[in-house]
């Protein structure tokens, strides 16, 4: 916005010179030539006395930074998807792309994994991340939720919300839900208040909720969040909403008036200007700078799909269509990163259409999962951004070195069943019917369900009408004769839910049934958001409910767990009756698949990034030096390799531990390689595509 300059005595020449200086200086953030809409003009909010004040505001359908017109060319880069040691590296690459702002979500579940247990250290140290943005002269658009979507488990909600009785209604004006949000934001928002732009920090805008118009239309809820934010952050910070670029979603998700700015997102390649025109109708007059708050540079991928790829040239062209008209855009994603631990989310259009997200969140973004910046998309977008940047762009850094350390030989350490702490009186939870994972206190990973039934002469049929998400079924005999491990009989998936035939094991009296249920990630978007995990219905044996269950949590480390041990239980065997079991006779259809731990050591001299190739393995989770690098599932694809950032590794000896749920690679080998691979399962996928 043009700054007014006062002078008691001036000559005509001085006025002309001052006008020229004002024009050339004030409008530096927007490159010449300027359209008529951005020609110099006077505005009563910008007097000479306020020239030096730090202020970010909206007026005359533009953003203004310290009294000057400003265009946001930002990008999403999530602190929780990149190790803290790499935050600066990735932010510098974002600057080299030409970005002047970073947008990030704040996942509630990362910071309060258990009710009352607050985490703001390590990868959860949001204050340090924001301070680093400020140090690097990057502005911040903060998206604190409480719901964030983002292909993140439960859309950022902590799973313990699902244990509340009576059940709370998420994303609504339910008083019980709002009380919990009030408490959480009462902790979070004061932590970042000093980092608001007008307080000397980088935060220029704070988002209210996230694409709420695609979910509901509870205005009382949105107004409550606005008032709550204002109570902690004051009236000077810009609050904004982001909704899809349709009249319906904007009607439901926006808050009319000038207190909250309404931004839009839409499919890359759509004509943005009719949508920006529609956006104006949902903002106060003069308060609608055109902003695509999620300009999609790529897309997400689920297990079992081909890796998502988008064309670099068309993506860059779509961005230029926005910038050439003096619009603003935030690249989603600028850098995707990784869903370490158990935090990847899922999608479902209906209950049976469950699709879990990959561990990799590369997103086909211009800055790759490992930070590479030599791809066609980075170059194409940077070329466009350079045309509209106020300053020359920083040089592009070289890619970080990646090393393939070669063959890692593993050995079987233990069957999962042998490893479990099996003291039923202290560890297992007993119930007449199965209970959810959350009710058992197991928020992520796995839960073992155990029951017994009288052995029958004929084979039996097992069915579970509602299991979230994947249940591996095992049986074993209870007897004093001989030690024997449980035998795998089949898998029941949420997305297919087929019954399993239990073979006639010829046990002398009683058969023990073990069901290992995996939480593959909670749904993060849509009507099925309240996605409890575990066995959520009765279990039927030959059509009759099976009663008297014991549930045993399996506490594997998640991303932000304080424990240094992968397993926090002892090697005790009586839970599954290892010392009291008869050998199952050889029966057709019974597989030897079993969940087991495999361990290997590898020595390195130079520490760099690497990838672990799980080609030949089936499905599981991997830990490097006690850090949960995520899930692998090469038999489904498309992700074959898991990214291992250098800060996880150390010179000398490194330890890899794998929980393989089914069958290991025949030679028990994992290879450390120097590049990603998203071609696993491709042959099967091509066959499926051909059949459909």
Catalytic residues: 211, 294
CA angle 144, 145, 151 (to 5 degrees): 110
Q: Which stretches within 205-362 are classed as H helix?
A: 219-233, 247-253, 272-280, 312-323
Extended beta strands in 423-469, E state: 429-431, 446-454, 460-463, 467-468
- Per-residue burial over 140-164, b = 16 or more CB atoms within 10 Å of its CB, e = otherwise: bbbbbbbbbbbbbbbbbbbbbbbbe
The DSSP-derived string for 276-320 is: HHHHHTTS-TT----EEEEEESS---BTTSPPP---HHHHHHHHH
Helix (H, G, I), strand (E, B), or coil: what is residue 160? helix
| Cα-to-chain-centroid distance, residue 570 | 32
Residue of 179, 102, 148, 142 whose CA lies nearest to 334? 102
CB 388 within 8 A of CB 71: yes
ω before 151 within 30° of 0 (cis)? no
What is the C-alpha separation between 645 and 362, in angstroms, rounded? 14
Residue of 184, 187, 257 whose CA lies nearest to 219? 257
What is the C-alpha separation between 446 and 429, in angstroms, rounded? 14
The DSSP-derived string for 597-627 is: EEEEEEEESS--BEEEE-TT--SEEEEETTE
What is the C-alpha separation between 537 and 627, in angstroms, rounded? 34
């Amino acid at each position: 916005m043009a700054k007014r300059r006062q002078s008691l005595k001036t000559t005509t020449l001085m006025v002309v010179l001052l006008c020229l200086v004002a024009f050339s200086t004030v409008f530096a953030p927007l490159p010449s030539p300027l359209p008529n809409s951005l020609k110099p003009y006077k505005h009563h909010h910008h007097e000479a006395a306020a020239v030096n004040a730090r202020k970010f505001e909206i007026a005359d359908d533009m953003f203004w930074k310290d009294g000057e017109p400003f265009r946001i060319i930002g990008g999403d880069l999530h602190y929780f998807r990149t190790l803290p040691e790499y935050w600066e590296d990735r932010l510098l690459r974002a600057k080299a792309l030409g970005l002047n702002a970073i947008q990030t979500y704040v996942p509630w579940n990362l910071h309060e994994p258990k009710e009352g247990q607050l985490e703001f250290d390590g990868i959860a140290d949001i204050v340090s991340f924001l301070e680093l943005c400020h140090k690097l002269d990057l502005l911040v658009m903060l998206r604190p939720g409480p719901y964030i979507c983002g292909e993140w488990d439960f859309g950022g909600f902590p799973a313990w919300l699902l244990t509340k009785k009576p059940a709370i209604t998420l994303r609504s004006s339910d008083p019980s839900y709002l009380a919990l949000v009030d408490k959480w934001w009462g902790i979070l928002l004061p932590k970042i208040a000093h980092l608001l732009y007008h307080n000397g920090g980088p935060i220029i805008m704070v988002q209210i909720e996230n694409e709420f118009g695609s979910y509901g239309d509870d205005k009382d809820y949105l107004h409550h969040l606005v008032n709550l934010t204002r109570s902690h952050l004051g009236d000077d910070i810009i609050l904004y909403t982001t909704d899809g670029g349709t009249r319906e979603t904007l009607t439901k998700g926006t808050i009319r008036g000038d207190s909250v700015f309404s931004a839009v997102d839409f499919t890359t390649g759509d004509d943005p200007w009719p949508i920006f025109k529609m956006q104006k109708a949902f903002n106060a007059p003069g308060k609608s700078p055109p902003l695509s708050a999620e300009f999609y540079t790529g897309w997400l991928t689920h297990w079992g799909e081909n890796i998502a790829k988008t064309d670099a040239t068309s993506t860059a062209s779509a961005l230029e269509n926005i910038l050439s008209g003096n619009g603003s855009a935030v690249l989603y994603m600028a850098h995707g990163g990784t869903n370490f631990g158990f935090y990847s989310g899922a999608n479902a259009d209906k209950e049976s259409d469950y699709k879990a997200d990959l561990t990799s969140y590369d997103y086909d973004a211009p800055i790759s999962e490992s930070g590479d910046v030599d791809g066609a998309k980075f170059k194409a977008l940077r070329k466009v951004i350079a045309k509209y940047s106020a300053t020359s762009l920083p040089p592009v850094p070289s890619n970080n070195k990646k090393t393939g350390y070669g063959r890692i030989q593993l050995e079987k350490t233990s069957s999962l069943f042998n490893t479990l702490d099996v003291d039923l009186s202290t560890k297992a939870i007993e119930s007449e019917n199965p209970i959810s994972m959350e009710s058992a206190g197991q928020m992520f990973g796995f839960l073992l369900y155990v029951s017994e039934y009288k052995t029958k002469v004929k084979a039996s049929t097992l069915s579970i009408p509602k299991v979230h998400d994947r249940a591996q079924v095992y049986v074993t005999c209870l007897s004093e004769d001989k030690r024997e491990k449980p035998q795998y009989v089949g898998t029941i998936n949420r997305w297919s839910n087929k019954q399993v035939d239990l073979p006639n094991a010829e046990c002398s009296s009683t058969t023990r049934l073990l069901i290992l249920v995996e939480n593959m990630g909670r749904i993060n978007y849509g009507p099925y958001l309240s996605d409890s995990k575990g066995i959520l219905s009765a279990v039927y044996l030959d059509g009759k409910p099976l009663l008297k269950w014991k549930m045993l949590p399996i506490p594997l480390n998640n991303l932000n767990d304080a424990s240094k041990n992968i397993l926090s239980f002892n090697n005790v065997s009586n839970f599954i009756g290892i010392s009291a079991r008869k050998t199952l006779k050889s029966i057709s259809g019974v597989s030897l698949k079993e969940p087991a731990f495999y361990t290997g050591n590898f020595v390195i001299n130079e520490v760099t990034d690497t990838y672990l190739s799980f080609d030949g393995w089936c499905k599981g989770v991997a830990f490097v030096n006690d850090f949960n690098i995520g899930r692998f599932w090469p038999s489904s694809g498309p992700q074959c390799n898991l990214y291992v950032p250098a800060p996880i590794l150390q010179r000398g000896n490194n330890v890899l531990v794998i929980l393989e749920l089914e069958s290991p690679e025949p030679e028990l080998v994992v290879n450390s390689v120097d590049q990603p691979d998203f071609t696993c399962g491709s042959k099967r996928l091509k066959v499926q595509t051909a059949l459909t």
